């Protein structure tokens, strides 16, 4: 009898992944960095130094320390937020995670059950949308303007969830370099959002994944800082975009009692300790210089992409210049469905994020597109945008 393990798979699995076929020539997807911007020399030196000094601690899970993660790294995260975002955090309010995706999973595990209501920005991180769909929760998209979440619409949605008998569990927001629009929520808007939220039994999940790569405005204090009680807001951040995504080092910040509960769900025996040690060692002396250099390289690439989009798409597209980060959000005429061009673009080696996958309402998102410029070189950006405009032929 032949054995078929597929018959034993549990129900409702997602479709299997397609075999990996490499990164296409013109890849405008994914939160990747550019090889030339990975600080290899600094990381090598940091790795050698920290391993010589403390390598034997790897003998014990969590380096023999707190399950919250490597203490030096948690202290660095606190210092970084203090200096860069006027945010006060104590090391026992920081949990190091395996990328901030693990932070998303932990917070969802803590708060969500199937059928719950959650509010997210109408255009938001596709990785969060797919998670929420898998969890079977009801997702409501709050309107965005150039300053981020619109308070009136937020109130409307919060009220709707209350009248439905299921107050929203959280508002998930990416206030600083919103993914995908690239906006940054100013201080006044942050205060307005907190004022609205103060009337509801709903948490805020603040994702600051790109906040260290901001160039278009001064960085406002985090919502976490502005929430005086520090209990409504759970915050996450990452070293993926500021150093390298393959490191898989992120962090979750919350009141220490919330973290103690989250620790009961983080049953992975600790996130990888070697990368935590290396990042802590490297970041202590190099983070600011490196982030400044990377931000200015990204700003330049954003300008290259904006010029290419204007040159090749002309009046057929509208976009807002991102305030930081690694992507642009393009809006085409209502009757354009960007997903229709994915297959032909792929045949020409071009990959982009169709707006539907980055939007709560896929119909609303269909005339939009996210283009990432973190990984491609300037030449690739120019040529890829030119080829894409030929494929879409909207002029
Ligand atoms: C808004 C946002 N949050 C979280 C993540 C996950 O990043 P990582 O797990 O690499 O820290 C991403 C990745 O692109 C993102 O865009």
Substitution candidate for ligand 1 out of 99, 100, 208 with most atoms within 8 A of CB:
100
The DSSP call for residue 123 is: B
- Pair 177, 274 in one domain: yes
Q: Which of 269, 286, 303 is the last residue of a domain?
A: 286
- Pair 315, 273 in one domain: no
Paired tokens of 328: 């642009």
Q: What is the pLDDT of residue 60?
A: 97
* Vertex 30: Cα angle to 24 and 33 (nearest 5): 90
- Pair 316, 299 in one domain: yes
- Pair 49, 172 in one domain: yes
Our measurement of the distance from residue 11's CA atom to the centroid of its chain's CA atoms, rounded to an integer in Å, reads: 29
**Pairs from 190-194 (Cβ < 8 Å, separation ≥ 24):** 190/220, 190/221, 190/223, 190/226, 191/226, 192/151, 193/148, 193/149, 193/151, 193/154, 193/223, 194/223, 194/226, 194/227, 194/232
List the chain pLDDT tens, one digit each, 395 residues: 899 999 999 998 989 998 998 999 999 999 899 999 999 999 999 999 999 999 999 999 999 999 999 999 999 999 999 999 999 999 999 999 999 999 999 999 999 999 999 999 999 999 999 999 999 999 999 999 999 999 999 999 999 999 999 999 999 999 999 999 999 999 999 999 999 999 999 999 999 999 999 999 999 999 999 998 879 999 999 999 999 999 999 999 999 999 999 999 999 999 999 999 999 999 999 999 999 999 999 999 999 999 999 999 999 999 999 999 999 999 999 999 999 999 999 999 999 999 999 999 999 999 999 999 999 999 999 999 999 999 999 87
Distance 112 CA to ligand 1 centre (A): 19
Nearest to 35 by CA among 299, 249, 244, 292: 244
- Pair 296, 218 in one domain: no
> Strands 117-121, 138-142: parallel, antiparallel or unpaired by DSSP?
parallel
Q: Which residue is closest in CA terms to ligand 1's atom 12? A: 209
Distances (CA, A) of 223 to 59, 145, 164: 38, 18, 27
Q: Which of 286, 306, 325 is the last residue of a domain?
A: 286
Nearest to 388 by CA among 334, 343, 350, 331: 350
- Pair 305, 251 in one domain: no
- Pair 122, 80 in one domain: yes
Q: What is the CATH number of the domain that holds 85?
A: 3.40.640.10
In the chain, DSSP finds a helix count (H) and a strand count (E) of: 12, 15
Distance 379 CA to ligand 1 centre (A): 26
Distance 185 CA to ligand 1 centre (A): 18
Distances (CA, A) of 281 to 50, 164, 246: 7, 50, 17
Is 343 buried (19+), middle (13-18) or exposed (0-12) by CB count in 10 A?
Answer: exposed
Distance 45 CA to ligand 1 centre (A): 27
Distance 251 CA to ligand 1 centre (A): 11
Paired tokens of 195: 């004022």
Q: Is the CB of 97 under 6 A from ligand 1?
A: no
- Give the ligand 1 atom nearest the CA of 124: 1
Residues 6+ apart with CB under 8 A from 167: 117, 158, 161, 200, 201, 202
Q: What is the pLDDT of residue 228?
A: 80
Our measurement of the distance from residue 67's CA atom to the centroid of its chain's CA atoms, rounded to an integer in Å, reads: 24
Paired tokens of 339: 């997903």
Write out the DSSP string of 170-189: EEEE--BS-TTT--B--HHH
- Give the ligand 1 atom nearest the CA of 250: 11
Q: Is the CB of 125 under 6 A from ligand 1?
A: yes
Residue 221: which domain range? 41-286
Query: Does residue 340 lie within any of the structural domains?
Result: yes
Question: How far is it, in rounded angstroms, from Cα 97 to Cα 108?
Answer: 14
Q: Is the CB of 242 under 6 A from ligand 1?
A: no
- H-helix or E-strand spanning residue 193: helix 187-197
- The total domain count for the chain is 2
- Pair 223, 126 in one domain: yes
In the chain, the largest separation of any two C-alpha atoms, in whole Å, equals 68
Q: Which residue is closest in CA terms to ligand 1's atom 13? A: 31
Query: Does residue 9 lie within any of the structural domains?
Result: no
Q: What is the CATH number of the domain that holds 367?
A: 3.90.1150.10
Q: Which residue is closest in CA terms to ligand 1's atom 16? A: 125
Q: What is the pLDDT of residue 21?
A: 87
Distance 209 CA to ligand 1 centre (A): 6
- Pair 241, 273 in one domain: yes
- Give the ligand 1 atom nearest the CA of 174: 1
Query: Does residue 114 lie within any of the structural domains?
Result: yes
Q: Is the CB of 27 under 6 A from ligand 1?
A: no
**Under a CB-based contact definition with an 8 Å cutoff, are residues 277 and 128 in contact?**
no
**Under a CB-based contact definition with an 8 Å cutoff, are residues 30 and 372 in contact?**
yes
Distance 98 CA to ligand 1 centre (A): 11
- Pair 181, 323 in one domain: no
- Pair 302, 240 in one domain: no
**Under a CB-based contact definition with an 8 Å cutoff, are residues 199 and 228 in contact?**
no
Residues 6+ apart with CB under 8 A from 80: 212, 283, 287
**Under a CB-based contact definition with an 8 Å cutoff, are residues 365 and 359 in contact?**
yes
Q: What is the pLDDT of residue 235?
A: 98
Query: Does residue 8 lie within any of the structural domains?
Result: no
Distance 125 CA to ligand 1 centre (A): 8
Query: Does residue 80 lie within any of the structural domains?
Result: yes
- Pair 101, 202 in one domain: yes
Distance 164 CA to ligand 1 centre (A): 31
Query: Does residue 15 lie within any of the structural domains?
Result: no
First to last CA, the chain: 61
Q: Is the CB of 121 under 6 A from ligand 1?
A: no
Nearest to 238 by CA among 216, 211, 263, 274: 211
- Give the ligand 1 atom nearest the CA of 104: 4
pTM for the structure as a whole: 0.97
Q: Which of 286, 314, 335 is the last residue of a domain?
A: 286
Distance 100 CA to ligand 1 centre (A): 6
Paired tokens of 365: 């998102």
Give just the sign of the alpha carbon dihedral 56, 58, 61, 62: positive
């Amino acid at each position: 009898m032949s054995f078929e393990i597929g018959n034993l798979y549990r129900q409702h699995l997602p479709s299997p992944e397609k075999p990996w076929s490499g990164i296409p020539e013109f890849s405008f997807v994914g939160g990747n960095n550019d090889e030339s911007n990975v600080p290899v020399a600094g990381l090598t030196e940091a790795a050698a130094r920290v391993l010589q000094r403390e390598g034997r601690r790897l003998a014990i899970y969590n380096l023999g320390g707190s399950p919250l993660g490597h203490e030096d790294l948690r202290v660095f995260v606190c210092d970084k937020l203090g200096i860069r975002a006027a945010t006060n955090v104590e090391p026992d309010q920081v949990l190091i995670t395996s990328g901030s995706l693990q932070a998303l999973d932990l917070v969802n595990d803590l708060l969500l059950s199937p059928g719950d209501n959650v509010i997210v920005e109408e255009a938001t991180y596709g990785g969060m949308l797919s998670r929420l769909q898998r969890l079977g929760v009801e997702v409501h998209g709050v309107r965005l303007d150039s300053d981020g979440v619109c308070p009136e619409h937020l109130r409307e949605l919060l009220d709707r969830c209350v009248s439905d008998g299921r107050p929203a569990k959280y508002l998930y927001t990416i206030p600083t370099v919103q993914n995908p629009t690239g906006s940054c929520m100013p201080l006044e808007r942050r205060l307005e959002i907190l004022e609205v939220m103060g009337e509801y039994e709903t948490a805020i999940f603040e994702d600051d994944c790109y906040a260290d790569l901001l160039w278009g405005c001064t960085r406002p204090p985090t919502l976490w800082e502005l929430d005086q009680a520090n209990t409504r807001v759970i915050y996450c951040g990452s070293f993926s975009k500021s150093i390298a995504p393959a490191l898989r080092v992120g962090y979750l910040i919350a009141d220490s009692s919330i973290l103690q509960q989250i620790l009961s769900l983080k049953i992975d025996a600790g996130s990888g300790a070697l990368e935590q040690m290396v990042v802590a060692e490297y970041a202590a002396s190099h983070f600011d210089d490196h982030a400044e250099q990377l931000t200015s390289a990204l700003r330049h690439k954003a300008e290259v992409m904006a010029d290419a989009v204007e040159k090749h798409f002309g009046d057929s597209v509208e976009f807002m210049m991102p305030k930081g980060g690694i992507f642009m959000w393009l809006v085409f005429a209502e009757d354009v469905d960007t997903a229709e061009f994915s297959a032909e673009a792929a045949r020409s080696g071009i990959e982009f994020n169709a707006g539907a996958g980055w939007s709560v309402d896929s119909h609303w998102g269909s005339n939009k597109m996210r283009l990432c410029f973190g990984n491609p070189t300037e030449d690739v950006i120019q040529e890829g945008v030119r080829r894409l405009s030929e494929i879409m032929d909207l002029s």
